[in-house]
Structure 1
Amino acid sequence: MYILGIEAATPVAGVAMVENGRILAERLVNNRRTHSVNLLPMIKDIIEEAGITTKQVNAVAVSSGPGSFTGLRIGMTTAKTLAWIWQIPIIGVSTLEALALPLMAREQIVCPILNARKNEVYTSIFRGRTGRPEMLEGPLAIGISELVQKLEKWPGPVTFVGDAVPVYQEEIIKLLGQRALFGAQSAQLPRGAAVAELGYWEMLAGGGVMPLDLEPEYIRLSEAEVKLAAKCESR
């Protein structure tokens, strides 16, 4: 089973192809170019490097949020269009679960954090285990102090990953002390391979939907939606 994974919910664009869970090819760029410029050439190259044709792709997995509103829309639109053209299922994968996946063997608390602006992060709290992460709480859009309060439910070290780590690392250390651990730089960036791998496991479990049925997981309203709601309330 060939699964194409697309990650575009953050400033990083990641694409990968897996066959029965085995990574065949992967590309990742963090060059600040828009995903609309990066994704399609990367997908074309990944399929060629995997040594297959588009007719052999069984499903498309895409990061469905939370994350950048613009990035999510571009990633989801790209994935839906390809799945529609190829007439194959699409699988939405949590951006946070994809970040947590590479650290699951540690069997401890893993807390991916993405910069949500407005002094908040997008986050979920996972427990490491063999296979897929066990989600203990989330997804949420909250401040760091509130997140740390939630983490008090589970003793022991907590490993943080994600693009919000450089922004909030000092505050996390101040609040959590020696309990706070941080993934290596290579673990801070979401990977298309993790999205594809989670998509593969979801397909084995009978998952996957038609392209038009998949919706992004924004967690909170966009700035435009907030302003529109405020305008409607003032009338």
Structure 2
Amino acid sequence: MLLAVDTSTQWVGLALYDGVQVLGEVVWQSQSHHTIELAPAISDLLDRCGVRPEELKASAVALGPGSFTALRIGLAVVKGLALAVHIPVVGVPTLDVLAAAQAVRELPMVCVLQAGRGRLAAGWYHASRGQWIAKGDAAVTNAEELMGQIEKPTLVCGELTAADRVVFARQKKTALLISPAHSLRRPGFLAELGWKRWQAGKVDDPVSLAPIYLHVAEEIPA
């Protein structure tokens, strides 16, 4: 049984996965209350699914980019759980979770998260052998700048405000917006990615595992 935890932004997600099915999944928008909401939410999910903490065999955590504070809270909880029940931890870049939820097409794709003050954290992906592969590192930009980088039909998915969507709507032929429902970061996909890495032996050191920060000195609001 694997527990997946994503606290990258205001959107928080948890999932339980046994390698065959997602037994439970919850996503909610926290008003910067990650510290007081996360542990009770994990306990509630375990109870609802009839799973005891000692039945967990691995955990997966979203590494960011995202909020400095929110990411640290998620990592701290996952690391504490891993050390308490002696299970491995797998870190997964948050934008990879968004990408994994999208149907693979022969088009480039850019996945985004809100980065505060009208900025976006964006990562580019391309299709290869039936899956999305990250192309380079994520970077901080904004909707106007990102739109200027889209020169051919490109899928755009992730956390977009109404204002962001208006910007991309100007370029309907090249900026192909994924619907809000398909842009929600589902922790079930984080669980699947984490499970595959765990089964392949690609686990992380819970002590040294660190979040992905694009701007260490600038807070990305939770």
* TM-score, normalising length: structure 1: 0.83
Give the counterpart letter for 1:182 in structure 2.
L
**3-state SS of 2:207 partner:** helix
Alignment coverage as a number of residue pairs: 219
What are the residue-to-residue correspondences of 1:83-162 with 2, within 5 Å? 83-128=82-127, 132-152=131-151, 155-156=152-153, 158-162=154-158
Is the Cα–Cα contact under 8 Å of residues 69 and 222 in structure 1 kept in the other structure? Answer: no
Is the Cα–Cα contact under 8 Å of residues 59 and 82 in structure 2 kept in the other structure? Answer: yes
Deviation at 1:118, TM superposition (A): 4.1
Cα RMSD for the two superposed structures: 2.2
CA distance in 2, matches of 1:53, 1:110: 39
**3-state SS of 2:203 partner:** coil
Identity %: 27
- In the alignment, structure 1 segments of 5+ residues that lack a partner are 225-235
What is residue 166 of structure 2 aligned with on the other side?
Answer: 170
CA distance in 2, matches of 1:165, 1:204: 37
**3-state SS of 2:165 partner:** helix
The reply on whether 1:209 has 2:204 as its aligned counterpart is yes
- In the alignment, structure 2 segments of 5+ residues that lack a partner are none
**Is the deviation greater in 100-109 or in 199-208?**
100-109
Deviation at 1:21, TM superposition (A): 5.1
What are the residue-to-residue correspondences of 1:1-80 with 2, within 5 Å? 2-20=1-19, 22-32=21-31, 34-80=33-79
Structure number with larger C-alpha Rg? 1
**Is the deviation greater in 212-221 or in 107-116?**
107-116
**3-state SS of 2:24 partner:** strand
Is the Cα–Cα contact under 8 Å of residues 113 and 160 in structure 2 kept in the other structure? Answer: yes
* TM-score, normalising length: structure 2: 0.88
Give the counterpart letter for 1:201 in structure 2.
K
Give the counterpart letter for 1:71 in structure 2.
A
Deviation at 1:184, TM superposition (A): 2.2
After superposition, the Cα gap between the structure-2 partners of 1:212 and 1:132, relative to the gap in structure 1 and judged at 3 Å, is farther
- Render the CA deviation track for 1:143-171: whole Å, top value 9, x for unaligned: 3344344443xx43x22222234341222
Is the Cα–Cα contact under 8 Å of residues 24 and 49 in structure 2 kept in the other structure? Answer: yes
After superposition, the Cα gap between the structure-2 partners of 1:15 and 1:128, relative to the gap in structure 1 and judged at 3 Å, is same
CA distance in 2, matches of 1:45, 1:100: 28
What is residue 188 of structure 1 aligned with on the other side?
Answer: 183
**Is the deviation greater in 177-186 or in 201-210?**
177-186
Deviation at 1:4, TM superposition (A): 0.6
Is the Cα–Cα contact under 8 Å of residues 150 and 175 in structure 2 kept in the other structure? Answer: no
- Render the CA deviation track for 1:102-138: whole Å, top value 9, x for unaligned: 1133443322111212443111111246664211232
The reply on whether 1:179 has 2:178 as its aligned counterpart is no
